Amino acid sequence: MAELCIPDPAERDDLGAFVARAVRLDRDALVRLRDGGGKVHAWVATPFDTLVTRSVRGAVRPDDITVGGTDLLAAVAEVGASVSDPGRSQDVLWRCALPPERGWYAVDLVPADVLADLTDQGAAVARHNPGPHGSPPAALLDQKVITVSGAGFEVGVPLRCLFALSGMGFAGAPGANEAVRVSATDSWLRLDARYGAVLRRRHAALPLLV
């Protein structure tokens, strides 16, 4: 049986808030839990075609398992339970490659309020230009709404990353005078805010030829 151990109630609340946001975006959300030697790293693939992640102090066994978001939410919501069953394994349903752990370069810091304004502007455009199923069209989501440079990189941040940042509530309350760190590798983009991070490939992955 899988086992999730998070002794600190505040850390359990943090993980619960992260999972609750993910389930709000997608009721069928899967959460990949990875043990990081004293920390549990939680990963979710969002409807915006981005990855989001948050880490809390604790441990998980097995050390890499994917579970249903609603199952995990029920597990961490159990009052006083520092050790819980996160739910049955759904490893076969996880489809996303995770980014590298090393090789990241800090590119720039962007005020969170600037990104919030850009998100609001993008949401207004999306409301007036819905896609075929009512969701924002891919062409809009892929638009680079801000470009930052540093550490030898020039990184364009697409609107879909800002929608994920906002939808997950990572940047905190408006007017808090906080910054979002933009980091990059040759292949990946990462936005680190107060309550979590958003990641996306900078370039489309090449198809495998067999």
16-62 pLDDT, tens digit per residue, is 999 999 999 999 999 999 999 999 999 999 999 999 999 999 999 99
Task: Give me the CATH code for the 3-93 domain, please.
Answer: 3.10.150.10
pLDDT of residue 128: 85
Return the amino acid letter for 125.
V
The secondary structure element, H or E, covering residue 55 is strand 51-57
Cα–Cα distance for residue pair 120/118, rounded to 1 Å: 5
pLDDT of residue 133: 67
Which long-range contacts link 143-146 to residues 24+ away (Cβ below 8 Å)?
145/118, 145/121, 146/110, 146/114, 146/115, 146/118
Among 26, 70, 85, which residue's Cα sits nearest to residue 51?
26
Exposed, middle or buried by CB within 10 Å (0-12, 13-18, 19+), for 208?
exposed
74-130 pLDDT, tens digit per residue, is 999 887 889 999 999 999 999 999 999 999 999 999 999 999 999 999 999 988 877
What is the pLDDT of the chain when averaged over all its residues?
93
158-176 pLDDT, tens digit per residue, is 999 999 999 999 987 777 7
| Pairing of β 144-150 and β 153-158 | antiparallel
Residue spans per domain, the chain: 3-93, 105-201
